[in-house]
Amino acid sequence: MKSRLEVSRAEASRVKSERQLAREARRRRKAVVSGAVAGVSTAVVLGLLAVGLPSSPGWPRVRETFLSWPHFTAAFPDVLSGFWGNVKIFLIAEPIILALGLAVALVRTVKTPAFFPLRALAVAYTDVFRGIPTILLIFLVGFGVPALNLQGAPGDPMVLGAIALVLSYGAYVAEVFRSGIDSIHPSQRAAARSLGLSQAQSLRYVVLPQAVRRVVPPLLNDFASLQKDTALVSVLGVIEALRQAQIHSTKTFNYTPYLATALLFVLLTVPMARFTDWLAARAEGRRAPGGR
């Protein structure tokens, strides 16, 4: 067996054939040409946008109503403080949603006849709450629960809104988990059972670890969506980022504050998108030959 050192020496002393050199030269040329084409077309598109947008007849008005720096700076501190409300709702709702979703998905995998009512309940839950538009659910919970006049029922609109979001997103996440569990080949479970693991043990140590890893990207996708839907809680009177922007906008008849809100939401979702990419890349690396 050759040592690693010998291999690299052999590579260093390798002489390339004429044909290989010509091939490499051709590839280099191609790379330069395609790079130039991409550069030129990008410049043309950006140039057209830069020239075309401002020269459109309504541009000054659009710039004034949507891209006004004074309005942006005037609204930004308020929008930012409202945004903290969105982040709070999101951070509190997310773990609860994960737990609820997983629980519902697990209930649906139980095949024992005695548990049929529970399973039926889980099915009904996902059917109903995935079907109701989120904003309607927020209205129902946010105005319906206080109207019941129950002792000890939460009255804070932010809490009620978070409960509605948990109910809605719990149903989505349950389906994501279930699809992950279903995607694990039955042979895995059979192998686990043949090794003497119980039904529950094979689910816990064999199926779930694989299933959860597989559904991380769609889960994070749902959470990006949840982050934005926290703005819906504003219908209950909560002054979060979107409402704060709306207050500024209606006061001045200028739409720029909404842009500030959009910017904050993008700043929140972009790191999550990169995190998803990183997770996917890591999983890919682990599966690849020689992976860790």
Partner 1 sequence: MKGPEVVLLRRLLVLPAAAAVLAASACAPADNTDTKAAPSGAAVNCAKDRLPLKTAGKLTVATDTPAFEPWFKNDDPSNGEGFESAVAYAVAEELGFTKDEVVWEKVGFEQSYAPGAKTFDFDVNQISITPERQKAVTFSDGYYTVAQGVVGLADGKFAGATAKEQLKDAKIGVQVGTTSLDAVQGQIKPATQPSVFNNQIDAVNALKNGQVDLIAVDLPTAFYVTAAQIEGSKIVGQLAPAGAKEEFGMLLEKDNSLVGCLNQALGELKSGGRLQQITDQWLSSAAGAPVLK
Decide: is 254 part of the binding site for partner 1 (CB under 8 A). yes
**247 or 283: CB nearest partner 1:** 247
Tell me which residues in 149-188 interact with partner 1 (CB under 8 A).
Answer: 149, 155, 157
| Site track 30-69 with partner 1 (rule: CB under 8 A), x = hit | ----------------------------x--xx-xx----
What are the φ/ψ torsions at residue 112 (nearest 5 degrees)?
-60, 130
**What is the spatial distance between Cα 201 and Cα 84, in angstroms, rounded to a whole number?**
41
Q: Which of 265, 266, 242, 257 is nearest to 66 (CA)?
A: 257
Minimum CB separation of residue 254 from partner 1 in Å reads 6
Decide: is 217 part of the binding site for partner 1 (CB under 8 A). no
Decide: is 253 part of the binding site for partner 1 (CB under 8 A). yes
Burial class, 166, CB count within 10 angstroms (exposed 0-12 / middle 13-18 / buried 19+): buried
Tell me which residues in 64-93 interact with partner 1 (CB under 8 A).
Answer: 64-65
Residues 6+ apart with CB under 8 A from 256: 65, 66, 67, 68, 71, 72, 75, 249
Count of residues that interact with partner 1, criterion CB under 8 A: 27
- CA 44 to centroid of chain Cα atoms: 33
Q: Looking at 247, 263, 272, 279, which residue binds partner 1 (CB under 8 A)? A: 247
Minimum CB separation of residue 149 from partner 1 in Å reads 8
Residues 6+ apart with CB under 8 A from 130: 168, 171, 172, 175
Whether the CA torsion 74, 78, 80, 83 is positive or negative: it is: negative
Decide: is 235 part of the binding site for partner 1 (CB under 8 A). yes
Q: Which of 244, 221, 219, 218 is nearest to 231 (CA)?
A: 244
Q: Tell me which stretch binds partner 1 (CB under 8 A): 11-19, 109-117, 220-228, 230-238.
A: 230-238
Q: Looking at 246, 263, 268, 272, which residue binds partner 1 (CB under 8 A)? A: 246
**101 or 157: CB nearest partner 1:** 157
Whether the CA torsion 121, 125, 126, 128 is positive or negative: it is: positive
**95 or 237: CB nearest partner 1:** 237
Residues 6+ apart with CB under 8 A from 16: 24
What residues make contact with partner 1 under the rule CB under 8 A? 58, 61-62, 64-65, 143, 146-147, 149, 155, 157, 234-239, 243, 246-247, 249-255
